[in-house]
């Protein structure tokens, strides 16, 4: 009830940080394009196979002087996978311990999500995805989040050869999305969800332009091929953005939603990465995914702060110059000083610059050595465990108790779901 909301707000008061004044508002008034890189793990950046870079376009963006890149950014999804990533990225709320919150609560709950916030600051908002609108209950959840438009397969040309696995092939999808994008009133906030780089990584012959890897694990070896194809679609999209003239007034944010290769394939990962031991510690380290923010004139560089998907929204809003210290967000701006640098995983495990917890085992994050905790270290990890549990349980309360019914910042106008309609008009 509303008293639960009060405890959440009291807690959040202690964890929200002032933005970094060097970056606050640097993207004010610019378009924001968020590109969801399906199943894309950080190790693919600069990874070579068969003498080729697997993702040359994303590598270029990662190292660009106008890109803020984060080398210790982790996905934090649970069983909701993509849906959990979307929940964190656009609400700074965790997914649930079980199942996709977008399906269970997306239709009925009150949210104060990125699209609604930015809409009220004058942005047009649109989501793009080459799958049916019902997947993960997006068609309803996006209304609750305040998306003006949702361009799903209902709006995209239908042709069997355009589809692969879960949806429209990335190259076709990105260009079809570009067509709509250039007609949106600016500034806009747009999210483009790619899908070709999805387990088990099938791809038509014509688009296979790098050989499969040779681990012998069938559901791993296609990964570099679909990642390579996804990368090409990004290269084409960025070239289009430049040609359209829009690049100059657009901030582009890239993120990997979650792992592509699960913990069930440690042997194959050992082969792929050349690591002799690929155990639980390595698996935790390989939950890193890209988070990159690219904009003309942005002072970039590779930042080593530890964070994850929960931290994306405060970071983006601060760059956009949208005051957000009074919103309900569990993350912290990745550019702020004095960040806690604790990355909770959905199952209660965590990574910090010092400690990595997997189950009941602790490792030194820096060298991977298993720790026999000293008394001082025990106190450290107890504090971290408390923080992780508090974050997860308060966030769960917000979602399962629909607590945002009871609070909104003064400036925020409640989203009226019936104002939204994503059905295509005939003719
Ligand atoms: C399908 C897609 C896949 O629309 O977003 O979701 P995932 O299986 O990665 O959770
Ligand atoms: Mn996904």
Does the Cβ of 148 fall within 6 Å of ligand 1? no
Does the Cβ of 82 fall within 6 Å of ligand 1? yes
Residues near ion ligand 2 (Cβ under 5 Å): 81-82, 257
What is the model's pLDDT at position 152?
98
**How many CB atoms sit inside 10 A of residue 135's CB?**
19
What is the model's pLDDT at position 287?
98
- Buried/exposed 352-386: b ≥16 CB within 10 Å, e otherwise: bebbbbbeeebbebeebeeeeeeeeeeebbeebbe
Q: List CB contacts of 300: < 8 A, sequence separation 6 or more.
A: 64, 65, 66, 67, 68, 69, 294
Which ligand is nearest the CA of 37, by number?
Answer: 2
Q: Which residue numbers in the chain have pLDDT < 70?
A: 425-427
What is the model's pLDDT at position 147?
98
Contact 32, 312 (CB under 8 A): no
Contact 130, 155 (CB under 8 A): no
Q: Pairing mode, if any, of strands 355-358 and 350-351? A: antiparallel
Does the Cβ of 166 fall within 6 Å of ligand 1? yes
What is the model's pLDDT at position 1?
87
What is the model's pLDDT at position 424?
78
The number of the ligand 1 atom at minimal distance from the alpha carbon of 85 is 10
82 in active site: yes
Which ligand is nearest the CA of 173, by number?
Answer: 1
CA–CA gap between residue 370 and residue 385 (Å, rounded): 17
CA–CA gap between residue 82 and residue 99 (Å, rounded): 11
What is the model's pLDDT at position 425?
66
The β-bridge partners of 226 are none
Give this prediction's pTM: 0.98
Contacts of 379-386 with CB under 8 Å at 24 or more apart are 380/354, 380/355, 381/355, 381/357, 384/342, 384/350, 384/352, 384/355, 384/357, 385/348, 385/350, 385/357
Which ligand is nearest the CA of 165, by number?
Answer: 1
What is the model's pLDDT at position 427?
43
Contact 180, 128 (CB under 8 A): yes
Torsion of CA 150, 177, 319, 144, to 10 degrees: 10
Contact 144, 111 (CB under 8 A): yes
CA–CA gap between residue 306 and residue 20 (Å, rounded): 16
- Cα(38) to centroid(ligand 2), Å: 5
Does the Cβ of 135 fall within 6 Å of ligand 1? yes
Known binding positions for Mn(2+) = 38, 82, 257-258
87-139: per-residue pLDDT in tens? 999 999 999 999 999 999 999 999 999 999 999 999 999 999 999 999 999 99
CA–CA gap between residue 183 and residue 196 (Å, rounded): 25
Does the Cβ of 143 fall within 6 Å of ligand 1? no
- Which of 55, 67, 82, 226 is flagged as catalytic? 82
Helix (H) and strand (E) counts in the chain: 13, 18
CA–CA gap between residue 46 and residue 52 (Å, rounded): 10
Residue 256's H or E segment, with its range, is strand 250-256
**How many CB atoms sit inside 10 A of residue 287's CB?**
22
Q: Record the tokens describing residue 146, joined without a space.
A: 């305040």
Known binding positions = 38, 82, 198, 257-258
CA–CA gap between residue 244 and residue 260 (Å, rounded): 32
Q: Whose C-alpha lies nearest to ligand 1, atom 6?
A: 82
């Amino acid at each position: 009830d509303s008293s639960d909301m009060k405890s959440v707000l009291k807690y959040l008061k202690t964890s929200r940080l002032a933005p970094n004044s060097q970056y606050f508002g640097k993207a004010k008034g610019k378009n924001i394009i968020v590109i969801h890189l399906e199943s894309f793990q950080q190790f693919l950046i600069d990874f070579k196979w068969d003498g080729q870079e697997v993702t040359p376009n994303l590598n270029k963006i990662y190292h660009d002087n106008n890109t803020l890149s984060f080398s210790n950014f982790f996905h934090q999804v649970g069983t909701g996978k993509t849906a959990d990533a979307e929940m964190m990225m656009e609400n700074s709320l965790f997914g649930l311990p079980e199942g996709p919150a977008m399906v269970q609560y997306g239709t009925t709950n009150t949210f104060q999500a990125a699209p609604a916030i930015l809409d009220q600051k004058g942005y047009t908002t649109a989501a793009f995805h080459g799958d049916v609108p019902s997947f993960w209950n997006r068609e309803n959840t996006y209304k609750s989040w305040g998306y003006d438009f949702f361009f799903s397969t209902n709006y995209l040309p239908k042709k069997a050869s355009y589809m692969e696995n879960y949806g429209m092939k990335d190259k076709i999808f990105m260009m079809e999305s570009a067509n709509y994008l250039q007609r949106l009133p600016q500034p806009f906030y747009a999210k483009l969800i790619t899908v070709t780089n999805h387990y088990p990584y099938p791809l038509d012959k014509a688009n296979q332009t790098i050989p499969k890897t040779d681990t012998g694990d069938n559901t791993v070896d296609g990964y570099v091929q679909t990642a390579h194809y996804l990368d090409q679609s990004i290269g084409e999209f960025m070239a289009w953005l430049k040609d359209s003239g829009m690049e100059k007034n657009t901030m582009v944010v890239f993120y990997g939603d979650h792992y592509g290769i699960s913990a069930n394939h440690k042997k194959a990962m050992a082969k792929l990465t050349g690591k002799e031991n690929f155990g639980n510690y390595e698996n935790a380290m390989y939950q890193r995914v890209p988070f990159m923010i690219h904009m003309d004139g942005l002072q970039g560089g590779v930042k080593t702060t530890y964070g994850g998907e929960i931290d994306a929204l405060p970071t983006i809003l601060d760059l956009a110059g949208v005051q957000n210290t009074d919103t309900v967000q569990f993350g912290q701006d990745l550019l702020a000083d004095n960040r806690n640098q604790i990355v909770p995983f959905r199952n209660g495990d965590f990574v910090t610059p010092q400690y990595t917890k997997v189950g009941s085992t602790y490792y030194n994050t820096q060298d991977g050595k298993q720790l026999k905790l000293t008394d001082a270290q025990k106190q450290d990890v107890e504090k971290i465990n408390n923080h992780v549990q508090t974050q997860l349980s308060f966030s769960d309360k917000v979602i399962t108790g629909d607590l945002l019914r009871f609070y909104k910042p003064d400036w925020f106008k409640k989203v009226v779901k019936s104002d939204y309609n994503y059905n295509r008009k005939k003719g």
